[in-house]
Amino acid sequence: MQGDSSKPELSNFTKEEIREELDRILSSEMFSRSSVLSNFLKFIVEETIEGDTENLKEYTIAVSALGKADDFNPQIDAIVRIHAGRLRRLLNDYYKGPGLNNSVKIEVVKGTYVPAFRSQSVQSSNFKQEDTEKKHGLKAIELSPTPTVYSRSKLTLAVLPFRNLCPDDEYQFFVDGFGEELTRIFSAEEDIAVVAHFSSLKYASISEDIRVIGADLGVHYVITGSVKRSNKEIRVNVALIETVKGIQIWSKNYTHDLEKNDMIDIQDQIDHDVFSILSGQYGFIVRTTLGLVESDMKQDIQSFDALLWNYYAQMTHGKDDCLKSRYALEKALEKDPNNVMCLVVLGDTYLFTHSLGYPNIKDPINEAIKLIKKAIKLEPRSQYAHIIYGWANIYLGDKKASIKAFENSIKLGYSSASVDGQLGFGFACLGEYKRAQFLLHKSLDLNPYCPWWYYLGFFLVYYHLGNYTEALKYAQKIDVSEDVFLDPLLKVAAMGQLGLLLEAQLSVQRINENFSQIMNNLEATLSTFLLDKVIIEEIIQGAKKAGVNIN
């Protein structure tokens, strides 16, 4: 994680309003119990609202906010990243509880230490249609004080017609093409239901509240955009808007030289980039939805709830989170036994909980394969099913079959940051390090928000190369539940190879105290998901050098 030195966005809030919200947080019972997290939050908020975001680096936070000595070394000590993860989780809990109705929301987004300040004012978000006619032939829509209840089926999306801001109509074909092509591309996304573009064309010439459009089309999100041009350049702005509160949650400007680029190529590049960033399990759409619905999930588990719980569990891989996710998926399949995504995700859950040594079903690998094969039979073109089938073959030790499944998945769908990251990590576990490195970098270039195991993939690449300094850097980026033995193990393995024995001692102590049973069978445990026997031996060797008790 690196500090972001870009100019902070204070939204529509004054410094005084942000400081008032900070005071409310720090005076709450949740934060009053932790002076460390309180000092952390106060420092980064004050630096940001004063425009000093260049100071928000690990070293500065450690020394100025956490009281570390001047010789603090962030390459060795991951304390700032650890506390940043704790702070994010505590803020999330605060805004689900005592801060639920606060008008300002302070967030620490993963990937940066610069806090974001967002509106949390809950305007009415459910819509009732009246019988009276509005201009343009649309029915008048009145805002109701009843909050919207999210659908428990699938996320829904519409691509609105892009606005042509060019000085003439010469590029109208180019502008119109975005709505049609993005609708087609997102229709291939398994997690999202996309409204036909024809249904949204009526908004091409109507200026309407985005919440009204969302209610009219019945969608959670809309993609909007505009096109401008000069004599030499064309500029395309694309935005993703959540429709219940009308909040813009992502936007990006694309500028291309008209003299050097073909118009169709420009459009293809932009469309692919937008899809890569927004789609997938770790794209902006799913990430935003987690925050919207997670606190409102009921015991009456539906398929959509279960999938969202799984996405959340995969960010932490805490034992309790994984067990809850498994329970939710099993309950959802009792009601909907042919739900393809739930079949695949439950199979994936059985596999990764097996690797982590968590409580599991009997014979998790073969049970996972049964679920995944059923999913592929129901939906042969499911890209995600083929990716997890590749993972199942890793657990069977069949490298050739795993590569074949991964390559089949590439043929079946569009590339996205999530797909590239999943495949990159998979190829790292297969020992295909060059291919892994390419895909992992490609994924993070598109979307720096990622689960911890992307960094495990990078660790494997650099550890294999004998670049233990770089491997340690990626091991220290990992922000994961304390239940996961791989977190301290990777750090001590790299430190052991580098001779940093003193720096490794806290992690060594944690391993010897909490994971002794896994250490007694470490080679077999690592072999469940790593097919390169050499790197397993080298990890064990590094850990032993650091002082880990391994039999």
pLDDT at 220 over 60: yes
pLDDT at 189: 75
**Overall average pLDDT of the 523-536 stretch:** 95
Q: What is the mean pLDDT of the chain?
A: 82
Bridge partners of 117?
106
Q: What is the pLDDT of residues 530-539, one digit of tens each?
A: 999 999 999 9
Percent of the chain past pLDDT 90, that is, above it, reads: 33
pLDDT at 97: 80
The second-level CATH assignment, the architecture, of 126-279 is: 3-Layer(aba) Sandwich (3.40)
505: pLDDT strictly greater than 80: yes
Asked whether residue 409 carries a pLDDT value surpassing 70, the answer given is: yes
Instruction: Tell me the pairing of strands 221-229 and 247-257.
Output: unpaired
Right CATH number for 329-546 from 1.25.40.10, 1.20.1560.10, 1.10.3720.10, 1.10.4160.10? Answer: 1.25.40.10
User: Is residue 120 a contact partner of residue 11, using CB atoms and an 8 Å limit?
Assistant: no
Does residue 251 have a pLDDT over 60?
Answer: yes
Between 301 and 474, residue with greater pLDDT: 474
Q: In the prediction, which pLDDT does 206 show?
A: 63
pLDDT of residue 455: 94
Q: What is the pLDDT of residues 116-174, one digit of tens each?
A: 877 664 333 333 333 333 333 333 333 333 333 334 456 788 899 898 888 776 778 88
pLDDT of residue 131: 35
DSSP assignment of 192-257 equals EEE--HHHHGGGSS----HHHHHHHHT-SEEEEEEEEE-SSEEEEEEEEEETTTTEEEEEEEEEEE
Range with the largest mean pLDDT of 40-54, 236-250, 269-283, 498-512: 498-512
Closest residue by Cα to residue 63 from 52, 55, 51: 55
Percent of the chain whose pLDDT exceeds 70: 86
pLDDT of residue 291: 58
Q: Give per-residue pLDDT as tens, 428-464.
A: 999 999 999 999 998 888 777 788 899 999 999 999 9
**15-27 vs 35-49: helix axis angle to the nearest 10?**
180
Q: Name the pLDDT band for 486 (thresholds 50, 70, 90).
A: very high
Question: pLDDT tens, 38-69?
Answer: 899 999 998 888 877 777 888 899 888 888 88
* Domain locations in the chain as residue ranges: 15-119, 126-279, 329-546
Q: 324-383: per-residue pLDDT in tens? A: 888 888 988 888 898 888 899 999 999 999 998 898 999 999 999 999 999 999 989 888
pLDDT digits (tens, 9 = 90+) for 353-366: 999 889 899 999 99
Is there a contact between 546 and 501 (Cβ–Cβ < 8 Å)? yes
Q: Is 144 helix (H, G, I), strand (E, B) or coil?
A: strand
The model scores a pTM over 0.85: no
* pLDDT recorded at residue 378: 92
pLDDT at 417: 81
- Check whether 255 has a pLDDT greater than 60: yes
Q: What is the pLDDT of residue 334?
A: 87
State yes or no: pLDDT of 107 exceeds 90: no
Return the pLDDT at 12.
Answer: 59
What's the confidence (pLDDT) of residue 133? 35
| Count of positions (residues) in the chain | 551
Give the CA diameter of the chain: 78
- pLDDT digits 0-9 by tens, 147-158: 333 344 567 888
**Residues contacting 259, CB < 8 A, separation 6+:** 232
Q: What is the pLDDT of residue 365?
A: 94
pLDDT at 305: 66
Residue 156, phi then psi, degrees to nearest 5: -125, 145
Phi, psi (deg, nearest 5) at residue 459: -55, -45
DSSP H or E stretch at residue 120: none
- CB-based contacts of 180: which residues, under 8 Å, 6+ apart? 197
| Residue 252: per-residue pLDDT | 87
The residue among 430 and 314 whose pLDDT is bigger is: 430
* pLDDT for res 111: 64
117 vs 111, residue with greater confidence: 117
